[in-house]
Structure 1
Amino acid sequence: MDSVTDAEKRAGKGDIAEQGLTPPLNAAIIAALFTAEVQEKRLARKVIGLQTIATLVAAGITAFCWRSSPQYAIAVLGGGGISVLNGALLAWRMSRAALHSAHDAHQQLRLMYFYAAERFLAVVALLGISLAVLKLSPLAVLSGFVLGQTVLLAARLLMKIKIEDSD
């Protein structure tokens, strides 16, 4: 029983090759994953940059509209800054989640829930500090935050569509 003929050994090797488990195919999958990760990081940087630019433009417009005091512009900058920080946390945590093994789906899910809760608490704490401690204008802070979040969503959607169309 222990003696295996050469023909049987060759037949076993042929079965593995027919299953498509050859190294060149696996290497192509890994290269595609690295390319997708690089594109995602580049997209995240562009989105954060767009959020920053939109916040600065909105604060500049606010400063010129209400010439009496820079308080409203500072409040818009504060709200937009909270939104930019939220986007930066999202990008950072997405890159950190990619470092962990994808074999344990429960661990990945726990990490994503933890990261979402972390971002939520950071936003609530910073909005609370802006409104209660710094006593910034609530309408201006929330306007800056909503503007930043709108840019985050719109830029991710539009830029993701653009990347998929180019492939």
Structure 2
Amino acid sequence: MATTFIPEGDHQRDYRHALAQFATGITVITAPTPEGGIGMTANSFASVSLDPALILWSAAKDSLRYPIFKQATHFAIHVLREDQFDIAKAFAKDTDALSLVSPRLNAANVPVFDSCLARFECRTEARHDAGDHTILVGAVENVFLNDTGKPLIFSQHGYGTFQDA
């Protein structure tokens, strides 16, 4: 059944449902901390510019990990494979999920891991306030590409993968 609504008040759940109709890839974002590093699952990742190489992702202000990511000067975005659902769920819930991926620290002390489809190592270029999120723009300094596998996708409130046509 089709419906039309204004996305406020009693229609917040409907608005979330409408947004869930758009399929997105799943990423794990990592950043350095004095204790070594932290990570979180995010699907709000997008390319901004090819020249210069810029990407963005959005951090929810109500996340317990938000203060670390908002202040981070560097971060890394790891694009997950279809077989990494458990990793996506672990980073969504647990601030200490890094032990699942055997990370190492890059030159900026950001924890990074190679068990992913692609990784974008970034310097924070800009932060933009955007309602209940902050948009973080990263200047991509290094890319890791592993084109073996299919991406893990989130759509219609569930995880899945891309099917070949």
Q: Which has the higher contact order (CA 8 A, sep 6+)?
A: 1
Q: Greater share of strand residues, 1 or 2? A: 2
Higher radius of gyration, 1 or 2: 1
Q: Greater share of helix residues, 1 or 2? A: 1
Classify the TM-score, shorter chain: under 0.3
* TM superposition score normalised by structure 1: 0.23
